[in-house]
């Protein structure tokens, strides 16, 4: 089977995958910036939405109607994790914070597995249109176009919300200097919960974009194996977040697109390399870690305040 | 930056008072501890071969858990790849025993040595990083190794993997469940003893100092980077050595068990079992493994075994982290103190706790 590969088509796959990584990274960065927790359970909280989506659509609900309910459920799961657990831990003790995040991951992913049960796979109906678009001889998938659109819309929405709205400004204040924000009369627990809600909602949206549209026309099939999408989703998302030094939101989106494009263009590479998606991502991540990207985006005081 | 996993230090009598009375008391305590250990080791006997098999599992997981104790408990580095090192050891054991035909007694130390290049490279690249970045780096390396090393058919034996025979020593065949159980128990006790010894050695004290306050450690003339690297490498070797026993226990090593996502999930499970047991003492890994195995036996009959098990252990992980960060070791110390000070109340508390746990387990077994 020979496929004529058009670089623009590959780029469209890459950017849409990158938008998904970017959404995940955005959630990670938002939560880390406001509460000092690097959420290793990010995907697991998103899974709450995926399994409830599978369950609701399995009961005969319209996918588009089920979507907002699922997003709300994931948000509730994230806020619960913050209010019940993370709020009670001193963020200076990063080992405990990370171990707890790992525990949260285990808890929610096990919950997801419990809801799905032991069926070999579960069908997820698509909620984005699955047609292909022919433009100037190129075949673009409509779902990719919509994904890119959603990513852009969220980026623009965030930009204005952070600059203009009162709650956005309050959230930024908490992220930049929690103590000063509290002294200025901002309820930091409330705005941290808001950050967790938005971050978890973004994780859920990212997973709900990629999982129901992974298998072409018939939607998506997930197995219990897909319940731990570490290599395929979480690691590129960490990489994307690292492009912005784990603290910068716009750069996290840019990083997502970068990782998405790298991944898709690797498919075109000769045989041993095309198999090594995660390894290439790993090399990039190590380079980013050694560059200590965070120093470009935050002052030393801000970084120290994150974990104090 | 204080990144210690704190647990209140109960002053150790051994060091404190070398008087005759104290020595006598210490010796009595040692006898009690030995007796308790012997009783614990004898628990599988009434269950026959099945019990011994489960006992082997606990012992092997305790060996793997000790690697987490060294790297996270002692040195304060988070590594999310212990099971990948175990897989490396297991695969090397398969290659050496089945591919080359060497005996197990050579294969096990070589499995430990085989992790050395990998842990050195990973350690040199990432040990300098802050806690959080180190966790990301090890998670990434674990996935990347699953994609590269564990696809190297020449070493891993391809998709089918290696069949690993059980070890033999002269006339003793460790193929029977009882013999291999005794071997595992002996080895794990030796390793616990070594890990506990490491804690009070020069290197171990350096690790603890680095964990508690890096700047202070540096001021004391400790080479922080080398100490962290040593901890990482030692933990990798410990996991590799445990991996050799894992290979024999499973009887078959196929690379699929050490690739993403199984490797990461099992690594997380290992970390959580060590935290439940008590992360900064060597016995923690031992007790954690026992609690893991007991839980898995209770949930065995349930229809949704893995999900239930995962939720239960995650719940306990968080409970321990929030309220008893020292794990079961800390709980047992507190309980012992309580029993000493107020015997009646203390013993009542212990009995009620045991009864509650047994009751819950019984209800669960009946319901499933």
Can you spell out the DSSP letters for B174-217?
TTSHHHHHHHHHHHHHHHHHHHHHHHHSHHHHHHHHHHH-HHHH
**Among the listed residues A80, A104, A73, the one whose alpha carbon sits nearest the alpha carbon of residue A205:** A73
Query: What is this structure's pTM?
Result: 0.87
For residue B135, tell me if it sits in a domain: yes
CB contact under 8 A, A95 and B3: yes
**Among the listed residues B21, B85, B41, B8, the one whose alpha carbon sits nearest the alpha carbon of residue B239:** B85
Nearest to A231 among B261, B311, B321 (CB): B261
Q: Which residue in chain B is spatially nearest to A237 when comparing CA positions?
A: B136
CATH of the domain at B215: 1.10.3470
Average pLDDT of span A160-182: 87
Q: Which residue in chain A is spatially nearest to B260 when comparing CA positions?
A: A231
| DSSP-based three-state secondary structure for A112 | helix
For residue B152, tell me if it sits in a domain: yes
Tell me, what's the pLDDT at B20?
54
Q: Report residue A258's pLDDT band, with 50, 70 and 90 as the boundaries.
A: very high
| DSSP-based three-state secondary structure for B11 | coil
Contact between residue A211 and residue A47 where contact means Cβ atoms under 8 Å apart: no
Q: Report residue B6's pLDDT band, with 50, 70 and 90 as the boundaries.
A: very low
| DSSP-based three-state secondary structure for B169 | strand
Q: Which residues of B touch A281 (CB under 8 A)?
A: 140, 144
pLDDT at A80 exceeding the cut of 50: yes
CB atoms inside a 10 Å sphere around CB A91: 17
What's the number of CA atoms in the CB half-sphere (13 Å) around residue B297? 17
Nearest to B265 among A85, A228, A277 (CB): A228
Q: What domains are defined for chain A?
A: 7-306 (1.10.3470)
Mutation target vs A (from B2, B212, B307; most A CBs, 10 A cutoff): B307
Q: Which residue in chain A is spatially nearest to B326 when comparing CA positions?
A: A96
Average pLDDT of span A194-202: 94
Q: Which residue in chain B is spatially nearest to A275 when comparing CA positions?
A: B147
Q: How far apart are CA A82 and CA A197, in angstroms?
A: 9
pLDDT at B16 exceeding the cut of 50: no
CB contact under 8 A, A95 and B76: yes
pLDDT at B11 exceeding the cut of 50: no
Most confident of A76-80, A297-301, B20-24, B178-182: A76-80
Nearest to B144 among A89, A114, A282 (CB): A282
**Among the listed residues A73, A88, A28, the one whose alpha carbon sits nearest the alpha carbon of residue B318:** A88
Q: Which tokens is A266 given?
A: 């690797």
Q: Which residue in chain A is spatially nearest to B305 when comparing CA positions?
A: A114
| DSSP-based three-state secondary structure for A139 | strand
Q: A198: distance to nearest CA of chain B, Å?
A: 22
- pLDDT tens per residue across span A115-136: 887 676 778 888 887 777 777 7
**Among the listed residues B249, B239, B237, B253, the one whose alpha carbon sits nearest the alpha carbon of residue B98:** B253
Q: Report residue B50's pLDDT band, with 50, 70 and 90 as the boundaries.
A: confident
- Least confident range of A248-257, B171-180, B230-239: B171-180
Tell me, what's the pLDDT at B340?
86
CB contact under 8 A, A103 and B317: yes
For chain A, how far is it from start to end, CA to CA, in angstroms?
Answer: 57
Mean pLDDT of chain A: 85
- Least confident range of A224-228, B216-220, B239-243, B284-288: A224-228
Parent domain of B154: 47-289
Q: How far apart are CA A223 and CA A205, in angstroms?
A: 19
Q: Which ranges of chain A would DSSP assign to H, the alpha helix? A: 7-35, 42-58, 63-84, 94-116, 142-164, 166-176, 178-183, 188-210, 235-243, 249-266, 271-274, 277-291, 294-297, 300-306
CB contact under 8 A, B325 and A275: no
Q: How far apart are CA B253 and CA A93, in angstroms?
A: 38
Q: How far apart are CA B285 and CA B60, in angstroms?
A: 11
Mutation target vs B (from A29, A31, A99, A227; most B CBs, 10 A cutoff): A99
CB contact under 8 A, B76 and A285: no
Residue B169 sits at φ, ψ, to 5 deg, of -135, 100
Tell me, what's the pLDDT at A240?
93
CB contact under 8 A, A99 and B275: yes
CB contact under 8 A, A231 and B260: yes
Average pLDDT of span B168-185: 85
Nearest to A276 among B130, B148, B322 (CB): B148
Q: A37: distance to nearest CA of chain B, Å?
A: 9
- Least confident range of A58-62, A215-219, A278-282, B333-337: A215-219
Nearest to B148 among A225, A234, A279 (CB): A279
CB contact under 8 A, B140 and A92: no
Q: Which residue in chain A is spatially nearest to B78 when comparing CA positions?
A: A95
**Among the listed residues A187, A195, A47, A43, the one whose alpha carbon sits nearest the alpha carbon of residue A124:** A47
CB contact under 8 A, A235 and B139: yes
Task: Please tell me the total count of domains within chain B.
Answer: 1
Tell me, what's the pLDDT at B2?
43
**Among the listed residues A207, A219, A229, the one whose alpha carbon sits nearest the alpha carbon of residue A50:** A207
| A276 or B185, greater pLDDT | B185
Tell me, what's the pLDDT at B3?
44
pLDDT at A168 exceeding the cut of 60: yes
Q: How far apart are CA B140 and CA A234, in angstroms?
A: 9
CB atoms inside a 10 Å sphere around CB A150: 18
Nearest to B135 among A98, A113, A276 (CB): A98
Q: Which residues of A touch B260 (CB under 8 A)?
A: 228, 230-231, 278
Q: B73: distance to nearest CA of chain A, Å?
A: 10
pLDDT at B1 exceeding the cut of 70: no
Tell me, what's the pLDDT at A218?
65
pLDDT at B124 exceeding the cut of 80: yes
Tell me, what's the pLDDT at B304?
63
Q: Which residues of A touch B131 (CB under 8 A)?
A: 94-95, 98
CB contact under 8 A, B261 and A92: no
Report which secondary-structure segment, H or E, holds B319. helix B305-323
Tell me, what's the pLDDT at B46?
77
For residue B27, tell me if it sits in a domain: no
Q: B195: distance to nearest CA of chain A, Å?
A: 21
Most confident of A181-185, A197-201, A301-305: A197-201
What ipTM was reported for this prediction?
0.88
CB contact under 8 A, B147 and A289: no
CB contact under 8 A, B144 and A277: no
Angle at B312 between CA B310 and CA B318, to 5 degrees: 100
Q: A230: distance to nearest CA of chain B, Å?
A: 7
User: C-alpha A208: how far from its chain's center?
Assistant: 10
CB contact under 8 A, A114 and B126: no
Torsional sign, CA B4, B10, B11, B13: negative
pLDDT at A109 exceeding the cut of 50: yes
Average pLDDT of span B152-160: 82
For residue B250, tell me if it sits in a domain: yes
For residue B268, tell me if it sits in a domain: yes
Contact between residue B150 and residue B262 where contact means Cβ atoms under 8 Å apart: no
Contact between residue A133 and residue A140 where contact means Cβ atoms under 8 Å apart: yes
User: C-alpha B29: how far from its chain's center?
Assistant: 25
pLDDT at A33 exceeding the cut of 70: yes
The radius of gyration of chain A's CA atoms, rounded to the nearest angstrom, is 19
A and B: number of Cβ contacts within 8 A:
151
Average pLDDT of span A222-247: 83
Q: Report residue A21's pLDDT band, with 50, 70 and 90 as the boundaries.
A: very high
Q: Which residue in chain A is spatially nearest to B264 when comparing CA positions?
A: A230
For residue B53, tell me if it sits in a domain: yes
Q: Which residue in chain B is spatially nearest to A242 when comparing CA positions?
A: B133
Q: Report residue B4's pLDDT band, with 50, 70 and 90 as the boundaries.
A: very low
pLDDT at B199 exceeding the cut of 60: yes
- pLDDT tens per residue across span B62-115: 999 999 999 999 999 999 999 999 999 999 999 999 888 889 999 999 999 999
- Least confident range of A35-44, A211-220, A270-279, B285-294: A211-220
Torsional sign, CA A303, A304, B1, B4: negative
For residue B228, tell me if it sits in a domain: yes
For residue B196, tell me if it sits in a domain: yes
Torsional sign, CA A9, A10, A11, A17: positive
User: C-alpha B105: how far from its chain's center?
Assistant: 21
**Among the listed residues B56, B58, B89, the one whose alpha carbon sits nearest the alpha carbon of residue B174:** B56
């Amino acid at each position: 089977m020979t496929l004529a590969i058009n670089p623009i088509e590959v780029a469209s796959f890459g950017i849409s995958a990158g938008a998904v990584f970017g959404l995940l990274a955005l959630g990670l960065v938002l939560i880390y910036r406001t509460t000092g927790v690097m959420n290793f359970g990010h995907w697991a909280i998103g899974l709450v939405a995926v399994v409830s989506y599978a369950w609701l659509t399995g009961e005969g609900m319209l996918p588009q109607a089920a979507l907002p309910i699922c997003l709300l459920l994931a948000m509730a799961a994230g806020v619960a994790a913050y209010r019940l657990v993370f709020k009670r831990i001193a963020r200076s003790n990063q080992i405990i914070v990370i171990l707890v995040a790992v525990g949260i991951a285990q808890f929610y992913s096990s919950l997801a597995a419990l809801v799905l049960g032991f069926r070999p796979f579960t069908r997820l109906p698509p909620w984005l249109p699955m047609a292909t678009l022919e433009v100037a001889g190129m075949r673009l998938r409509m779902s990719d176009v919509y994904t890119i659109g959603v990513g852009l819309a969220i980026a623009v929405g965030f930009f204005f919300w952070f600059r203009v709205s009162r709650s956005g400004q309050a959230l930024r204040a908490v992220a930049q200097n929690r103590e000063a924000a509290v002294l200025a009369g901002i309820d930091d627990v409330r705005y941290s919960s808001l950050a967790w809600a938005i971050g978890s909602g973004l994780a859920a949206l990212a997973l709900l974009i990629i999982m129901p549209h992974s298998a072409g026309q018939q939607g998506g099939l997930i197995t219990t194996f897909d319940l731990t999408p570490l290599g395929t989703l979480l690691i590129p998302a960490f990489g994307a977040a690292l492009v912005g030094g784990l603290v910068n939101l716009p750069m996290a989106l840019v990083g997502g697109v970068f990782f998405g494009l790298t991944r898709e263009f690797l498919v075109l590479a000769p045989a041993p390399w095309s198999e090594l998606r995660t390894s290439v991502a790993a090399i990039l991540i190590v380079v980013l870690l050694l560059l200590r990207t965070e120093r470009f985006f935050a002052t030393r005081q801000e970084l120290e305040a994150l974990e104090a | 930056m204080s990144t210690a996993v704190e647990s209140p230090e109960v002053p150790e009598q051994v060091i404190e008072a070398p008087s005759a009375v104290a020595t006598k008391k210490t010796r009595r305590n040692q006898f009690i501890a030995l007796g308790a250990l012997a009783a614990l080791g004898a628990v599988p006997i009434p269950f026959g071969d099945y019990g011994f098999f489960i006992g082997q599992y606990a012992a092997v997981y305790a060996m793997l858990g000790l690697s987490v104790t060294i790297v996270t408990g002692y040195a304060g580095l988070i590594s999310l790849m212990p099971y990948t090192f175990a897989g490396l050891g297991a695969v090397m054991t398969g290659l050496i025993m089945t591919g080359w035909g060497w005996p197990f007694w050579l294969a096990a130390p070589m499995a430990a040595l085989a992790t050395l290049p990998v842990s050195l490279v990973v350690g040199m690249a990432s040990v300098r990083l802050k806690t959080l970045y180190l966790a990301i780096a090890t998670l990434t390396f674990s996935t990347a190794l699953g994609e590269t090393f564990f696809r190297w058919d020449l070493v891993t034996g391809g998709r089918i993997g290696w069949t690993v025979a059980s070890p033999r020593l002269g006339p003793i065949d460790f193929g029977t469940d009882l013999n291999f159980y005794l071997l595992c128990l002996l080895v794990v006790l030796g390793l616990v003893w070594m890990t506990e010894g490491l804690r009070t050695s020069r290197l171990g004290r350096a690790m603890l100092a680095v964990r508690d306050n890096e700047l202070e450690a540096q001021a004391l003339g400790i080479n922080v980077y080398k100490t962290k690297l040593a901890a990482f490498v030692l933990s990798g070797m410990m996991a590799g050595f445990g991996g050799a026993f894992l290979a024999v226990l499973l009887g078959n090593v196929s690379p699929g068990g050490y690739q993403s996502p199984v490797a990461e999930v099992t690594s997380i499970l290992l970390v959580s079992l060590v935290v439940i047991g008590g992360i900064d003492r060597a016995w923690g890994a031992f007790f954690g493994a026992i609690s893991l195995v007991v839980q898995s036996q209770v949930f065995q009959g349930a229809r949704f075994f893995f999900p239930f098990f995962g939720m239960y252990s995650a719940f306990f992980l968080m409970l321990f982290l929030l309220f008893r960060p020292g794990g079961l070791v800390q709980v047992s110390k507190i309980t012992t103190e309580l029993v000493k000070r107020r015997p009646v109340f203390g013993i009542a508390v212990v009995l009620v706790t045991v009864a509650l746990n047994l009751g819950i387990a019984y209800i669960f077994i009946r319901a499933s």
